[in-house]
Structure 1
Amino acid sequence: MYINRMLLSASLVVVALILQVTILARLQLPGAVPDLLLLIVLGLALVYGHTAGALVGFVAGLLADIAPPADHAVGRYALVLCLIGYAAGLTKPEGGQHRSATVPMLVVASAAIGSTLLYAGVGALVGDTAARGAGLRGLLITATLYDLLLAPFVVPVVMSLARRSEKDRLAAEPGGGSASGGDRAAYGWLTSGAGVSSSAGGLLGKGRTPRGGKSAGVGSSRGSLMGRSARNKAGKIKGVKRL
């Protein structure tokens, strides 16, 4: 049922991870590195919801933890992206689509700040103080700036692909119209039987059913013939007596 979601999410995460490791990580930009993987998770979570966002975030973070040249504990970024994907999925409206780009951009800015703080906090818990040495304030500013600059080129495309996969999945499923047509076909004999019974009842009320009509007609004709023959016999007997 969710094969389209799985295929799209896996392909986007793999492509984003390859671009993250081979291109973005080697740009030597000041401060943080543009997080393409985070934007992919956010785009999918905004369409699929909090549950799928958490799952995609966990898998994407786990792949980033084990992909070289990772120098941190395995599961650290998986936890961060899992929480970020879950929180971003909670902003999905009931209609399934955001009316403007304001909410997604706010989600991107909040996710950039939140992921940096969570990554630094988890690192502090496990004894990794690299974020403190690099300057946490500078990382927050540059991470938010880079992600906001990259988001208009990534998040709308990811959301559009996710919505298209959702439409394809709904179109592949059997619709409610076919089921109702099947119910009508399945119960057609009941309606036809009811029509026959109603027509039969109407004909019976009018005395026009084939069998009932014939029996009534034959009975009436036989009654009239018997009456005529009895009257003829009576007339003959009376005439004989008169003679």
Structure 2
Amino acid sequence: MVIKRVLLAAVLLLLALVAQVSVLGRLQLPGATPDLLLLVVVGLALVFGPMGGSLTGFAGGLLADLAPPSDHAIGRYALVLCLMGYAAGLFRAEPGRQRSVLVPLLVVGGSAVVSTLLYAMVGALVGDTAARHVGLPGLLLSAVLYDLLLAPFAVPAVMLLARRFAGDPMSGEVTGSGLGTIARYRTTRAASSVGPSRRKSFRGAKS
């Protein structure tokens, strides 16, 4: 299962990075650029949980740091997406329970705001003042708007793929160990329910 998760995350992150650099980055939209990589990290974190989300975010952010035409310090976006992946993973639904469809949208909106602020703060610490020249309020507004417009198409698709191909409990798949556990549980319950009746029958026959 771990290998499937790693392979799936690697493929989705690479596809998101290529689409973001070659397509979204060339649209010349006002304000921020739609962050498809962030949406993929959020979608995977909502399925994999905090640990998987943080590792996925770090890997995706590091790819973005190394991919041209990157013009910022290496590790800057990796730190931001690592924190976003961990935070989004905290909203993962427990096995057997379904959350509202609004939860992913709220997580995406919050992640867009926090990631933009963190990216600007880390940039200020290393001497990058680009956000100050562009205007932070405009970046925040455009980042939230673009990410929320893409979220209904990207996040559910990522979560569906993660649940189907990574064997997540929310997908309804039951592994062999799970079947064994259910079988043992049923056997134990059957034995406990049949035991008293057998003892009563034995006493009646003895008397």
Shorter-chain TM band: 0.7 to 0.9
Say whether residues 1:46 and 2:42 are aligned partners.
no
Counterpart of 2:72, as a letter, is H
**Map of 2:145 onto structure 1:** 145
* Higher RCO structure, 1 or 2 (CA under 8 Å, sep 6+): 2
* 1:151-188 residue CA offsets vs partner (Å, 9 max, x unmatched): 00100000111111233899695335458989xxxxxx
Larger radius of gyration: 1
Q: Percent identity?
A: 63
Counterpart of 1:88, as a letter, is A
The answer on whether the counterparts of 2:47 and 2:168 sit within 8 Å (CA) in structure 1 is no
Q: 1:5 to 1:96 in 2, by over 3 A?
A: farther
Query: TM-score, length-normalised on structure 2?
Result: 0.82
Counterpart mapping for 1:109-124 below 5 A: 109-124=109-124
Which has the larger displacement, 112-121 or 167-176? 167-176
Say whether residues 1:130 and 2:130 are aligned partners.
yes
* 1:117-147 residue CA offsets vs partner (Å, 9 max, x unmatched): 0000000011100010010000000000000
**Map of 1:78 onto structure 2:** 78
Cα distance, 1:95 vs. partner? 2.8
Distance 2:10 2:137 in 1: 33
The answer on whether the counterparts of 2:162 and 2:168 sit within 8 Å (CA) in structure 1 is no
Counterpart mapping for 1:84-123 below 5 A: 84-95=84-95, 98-123=98-123
Structure 1 unpaired stretches of 5+: 183-243
Distance 2:76 2:97 in 1: 31
The answer on whether the counterparts of 2:45 and 2:53 sit within 8 Å (CA) in structure 1 is yes
Distance 1:10 1:161 in 2: 13
Tell me the secondary structure at the aligned position of residue 160 of structure 1: helix
Query: TM-score, length-normalised on structure 1?
Result: 0.70
Tell me the secondary structure at the aligned position of residue 6 of structure 1: helix
The CA RMSD over aligned residues, in Å, is 2.1
Match of residue 177, structure 2, among 169, 175, 187: 175
Say whether residues 1:10 and 2:28 are aligned partners.
no
Tell me the secondary structure at the aligned position of residue 175 of structure 1: helix
Distance 1:181 1:105 in 2: 39
Distance 1:73 1:96 in 2: 42
Cα distance, 1:48 vs. partner? 0.6
Tell me the secondary structure at the aligned position of residue 143 of structure 1: helix
Q: 1:28 to 1:165 in 2, by over 3 A?
A: same
Cα distance, 1:4 vs. partner? 1.1
Counterpart of 1:15, as a letter, is L
Cα distance, 1:80 vs. partner? 0.2
The answer on whether the counterparts of 1:47 and 1:96 sit within 8 Å (CA) in structure 2 is no
Q: 1:134 to 1:4 in 2, by over 3 A?
A: same
Cα distance, 1:101 vs. partner? 1.1
The answer on whether the counterparts of 2:93 and 2:99 sit within 8 Å (CA) in structure 1 is no
Distance 1:117 1:162 in 2: 28
